[in-house]
Amino acid sequence: MATYLLIHGASSDSWLWHRVVPLLRAAGHHVVTPDLPVADPEAGIEEYADAAVAVLGDHADDSDIIVVAQSMGSFTGTVLTHRIPVKLLVFLSAMAPKEGETAGQWWEATDWRQAKQDSDARLGIPQDADLKVVFFHNVPAEVVAEAWEHGEVGQSDRPFGPPPMPALPADLPIRFLAGRDDRFFPLDFQRRTVQERFGFAPDEMAGGHLLPLARPEELVRRLEEYRDEAGL
């Protein structure tokens, strides 16, 4: 049995994982889904990591901890590798972090804006497209309705500032899974950025930016494959 620590991204909370959690638990694993203090103007990435460790509780010393970090959660996931004995780190539709860089610097450093504009032009997506077009375009309609009822969580600017990211542990197994249909972090952009920053190509699966909501079964299958490959 492994302990999965699932980290959500910006303007979000643990609801992101509500379709994934029962599948991982049915497979016999312990699953922890912290709500990071994203609306707190005083909370940055270090405080996000504090919140995750606090919710992990007694499981912080588990021997087989797998961190799955979605979108901006990649920065929290990186810090967590220095706080708890992480055995596998999975970046999911994520901002590929780099040592010495903050989340605020990431956008210009990766040339994300141009990559998204180019992708939008190819797909015919207008610049003022709403969340349903950019983020929820392949999420089942009933789940989209639940998301709108659940509401968006406010996001403070604090985690985009310092301190910059530490280096990832050299001996830590890392996987990166990208959605082929991601309209926020386009696939070509992810292929380039991950290769430049990690030295390997990302894995790919069908789906957009919100894979836990759109394709939970396939996502869990991928996570379990990563766990098996890591010997956990």
Q: Domain segments of the chain: what residues?
A: 3-229
pLDDT tens-digit profile of 74-132?
Answer: 999 999 999 999 999 999 999 999 999 999 999 999 999 999 999 999 999 998 888 88
Q: Check: CB of residue 9 under 8 Å from CB of residue 206.
A: no
- Position 102 scores a pLDDT of 98
Under the banding of pLDDT at 50, 70 and 90, the label for residue 166 is very high
* pLDDT band of 142, cuts 50, 70, 90: very high
User: What is the reported pLDDT for 54?
Assistant: 96
- With residue 227 as reference, give the H or E element that holds it: helix 216-229
What tokens were used for 81?
């590798």
Average of per-residue pLDDT across 153-164: 95
CATH code that applies to domain 3-229: 3.40.50.1820
**175 SS3 class:** strand
Q: How many other β-carbons are positioned within 10 Å of the β-carbon of residue 118?
A: 13
pLDDT at 129: 83
Q: Alpha carbon of 200 to those of 96, 109, 175: distances in Å?
A: 12, 19, 9
Q: Which position has the higher pLDDT, 183 or 1?
A: 183
Residue among 125, 160, 197, 213 nearest 48 (CA): 160
CA distance 230 to 154: 36
**From the CB of residue 8, how many other CB atoms can be counted at a distance below 10 Å?**
26
- How many Cα neighbours within 13 Å face the side chain of 189? 26
pLDDT at 7: 98
Q: Are 183 and 134 in contact (CB under 8 A)?
A: yes
